[in-house]
Structures are given as structure tokens and as C-alpha cells.
Amino acid sequence: MNSTRVHAPLESSLACGDNEEYICPHHQRTRVQVVGYEPSGRGSALLLADGDADGDDIEHRPLESGDELAYSLGERHCAGTIGEAGHIACDRSSAPYCEFHTSTWVCARCTGTCLKDEMDCYEEHAVYIAAFAPDTFKVGVTRSWRLETRLCEQGADRAAHVHTVSNGKIAREIEAEIATWLVDRVRTGPKVAALASSVDEDAWDDVLAEFEVIERFAFDYEFEPVLESRPVRETIASGTVRGVKGRILVVEKGGTTYAVDMRDLVGYELEDGETERELQSSLGSFG
């Protein structure tokens, strides 16, 4: 389901969630594998496929607040690849992807000197600053038409569009310059640690004072109920969904709230029935 946008003169507030009711089409399959995921901003879903079949259609398992997940994790191996013909399975043991199915997007390493044989990024690009609670500020670039989606995919709490340029090369040059004093990537660990935190607004304003801001954004990931404490990081596919922020799935199970990096689920075969593995509990779950 697409994000909902509310327009404002300077700041946009976006809800990054909302999926329709889901009935799992895989309940009769004997071998279902997680072969990918959609982060917030692109529908918040696990991508499932028959682990044995080539050309298998991909099923989206939506992740909406209140949904119940009841899977245990089986074996993990390469998730294969997804192409025009559907999913192509791979039994190699490396996960989430083997050496034959690991792709690297060279543009992510670009600093203005094109790494391709021929430059092809001639679309209009936006340079943005994203804020991650409480006080991590990241510079990034994307094609202008997908700016809001890209920010929501990353789980940004706030953002500002600070430059519009004619192509990706110029955008990467500006990004590299700003990256001398702001980070250009944020790892999952700090994002999990700050799931129940708010942005330091004073620090955010200080950063933006260095730019001529074109537009500001605020994002609402609609956790239900609202997170009041830091979730426990785990790799599970069972529990009640509380929400998705970027690629972080938040579920509640046994009185404890868990944060799951969906990339850590890729490659696992799913088996019906909740996990029986002993999980770490938060102090609050003991009453």
C-alpha cells in the first residue's frame, strides 16, 4: 500500500504503512522461502516464494499493525534472484545471497566520478538531509521523483530537500562535499536503538541552518501501540506486528517487543507454527 501524503506549505507529514487484509496463499506449500522484502514506503511486506521452483511467482506477505505472524525459521540458504520470469531458486549455502546472486549497485559508491562504462544518470536528482532519532543526520541523493519514497524506505524521522540538480553526477559531487561533515550511511543497530526516541529538534535546526531548504518532511510510521521503550533485537517471524520503519519490522511476542531487520530473514525457509526457540525478553515483560 502506498504512503499517505499530507501537503503543507513547507513540511509534509507522511504515514508509512497501511496494508489491506491479507490471506496467505502459501499455507499448503511445503517449502516457502523469504526471498526479499519491501520496506516502509514501498508497501511493508515479506516476499515469499516456493523454495524449490524456478519461475515461481512472488507473493507479498503484507505487514500491517495488528497482523499475526506464525512462522518458525527453518534452514537458510541463498535467496536466488527475482527477474521478469519470477523467482529463480538457488540451493547454495551462502545467505542471504551466494556469490552468483550478489549484486552491487555501483552508483552507491559514486562520488561524482562515474564508475560505469557510460554515464546514464541524466534524470533530475535531489540532494537531501535525513534525520534519524535522536541526533544522527545523513546526506543522500536520489532521483527527484522518488524522494519521499526513498526517505521512507530508510526509516528517516525528518528530512529536508536541500538541492535540485540536473543529473546524478552533480548530485554525487555535492553529496561527497557534505559528507565531509555529515554521515552518508546509518547502520541498522543505531536505528533499532532509537526506535522509541524523538529527534533532537534543536540539533536538527542547527544542521538545516547550513542550507537553503527547499522542502521539509516529517514521517509517521504509525506503531500501534506507540513504542515506549527500545525493542529487543531478534531474528524471528512470529508475533503481532506493531509496525515497520524502513526495513525494521517490530513485533510483540510474549509481552516483549522485538525489532527484526528484515534483511536478516532473507534466505530463511518458513515453517508453519510460531518459533519455540527461547528468546531474550525485555525487563518490562516480567511485570
Is residue 81 classed as helix, strand or coil in its secondary structure?
A: strand
Domains of the chain: total? 2
CB 18 within 8 A of CB 63: no
* 260 and 118 housed in the same domain: no
* 166 and 282 housed in the same domain: no
Q: Of all residues in the chain, what percent are helix, strand and coil, respectively (each to 5)?
A: 15, 35, 50
Task: Give me 96's grid cell.
Answer: 542471504
Task: Give me 86's grid cell.
Answer: 519470477
Domain that holds residue 151: 4-12+105-220
Whether 158 is covered by a domain: the verdict is yes
* 138 and 183 housed in the same domain: yes
From the list 1, 66, 30, 12, the residue with the least C-alpha distance to 214 is: 12
* 96 and 114 housed in the same domain: no
* 119 and 202 housed in the same domain: yes
Listed as own residue / partner, the contacts of 175-184 with beta carbons closer than 8 Å and 24 or more positions apart are 175/111, 175/127, 175/139, 175/140, 175/141, 176/111, 176/112, 178/127, 178/129, 178/139, 179/139, 182/129, 182/137, 182/138, 182/139, 182/207, 183/136, 183/137, 183/138, 183/139, 184/138, 184/139, 184/140
Residue 233's DSSP bridge partners are 259
Whether 17 is covered by a domain: the verdict is no
* 232 and 196 housed in the same domain: no
* 30 and 66 housed in the same domain: yes
* 140 and 94 housed in the same domain: no
Whether 119 is covered by a domain: the verdict is yes
How many helices, marked H, and strands, marked E, lie in the chain?
A: 4, 17
Residue 284: count other Cβ atoms within 10 Å of its Cβ: 11
* 123 and 247 housed in the same domain: no
* 141 and 268 housed in the same domain: no
Q: From CA 221, how far away is CA 3, in angstroms rounded?
A: 10
pTM over 0.85? The answer is no
Strands 11-15 and 215-220: parallel
Q: From CA 221, how far away is CA 243, in angstroms rounded?
A: 7
* 175 and 232 housed in the same domain: no
Q: From CA 161, how far away is CA 128, in angstroms rounded?
A: 4
For the chain (287 residues), the mean pLDDT of every run of 10, in chain order, is 36 54 49 93 94 72 96 95 88 93 59 52 92 98 97 98 96 96 97 97 98 98 93 97 98 96 97 79 51
Task: Give me 119's grid cell.
Answer: 554515464
Q: Look at residues 174, 194, 220 and tell me which one is the last residue of a structural domain.
A: 220
Say what the pLDDT of residue 6 is. Answer: 32
Say what the pLDDT of residue 101 is. Answer: 86
Give the helix ranges, DSSP H, for 126-271.
147-154, 168-178, 188-193, 201-208
* 93 and 112 housed in the same domain: no
Say what the pLDDT of residue 168 is. Answer: 92
